[in-house]
Amino acid sequence: MLNKRKDSYGPDKDRRRYERIQKSFILSYYDLANPSQKHEITQLKNISLGGICFITTRSFEPGTKLGIELKTPYIAGTTYLQGAVLQSHEKMKATIYETRLAFETLDAEATVLLEKLMVFFIDAKDHPYE
């Protein structure tokens, strides 16, 4: 099955529900409580059908609802995603955070984009020389 990890069993294996891809796509983000105040353009660390991990310059409380504007070289235009913060982990004291976000609802366009990205990059990883 596309979105489920095949190797997610056993004590030493990653227990994530969805396989992640690690690509440096550009995104901007904003608090859904204040959508007019968009934050800087940043990079994502990884993304899956279940969520996203990206770099922020501030910490967000768990449960904060964020909107994401994602741009990829594979789709013209911007894909809009939203979800709830799971954690903001400090990477550089009071400067850089890795923020993990779980998608809550994805519209059809976002779902199609993410599925296409997963197929493309997971297939490329499994067959690097074809």
Kindly tell me if the per-residue pLDDT of 40 is higher than 90.
no
CB 54 within 8 A of CB 42: yes
The Cα 20–Cα 114 span in angstroms is 11
| Options 2.60.40.10, 3.20.20.105, 2.60.120.10, 2.40.10.220; CATH of 26-126 | 2.40.10.220
Confidence tier at 124 by pLDDT (50, 70, 90): low
Q: Using 50, 70 and 90 to split pLDDT, how confident is the model at 16?
A: low
Give the domain ranges of the chain: 26-126
pLDDT, position 14: 53
Reported as a single tens digit per residue, the pLDDT across 60-101 is 999 999 999 988 776 777 889 999 999 999 999 989 999 999
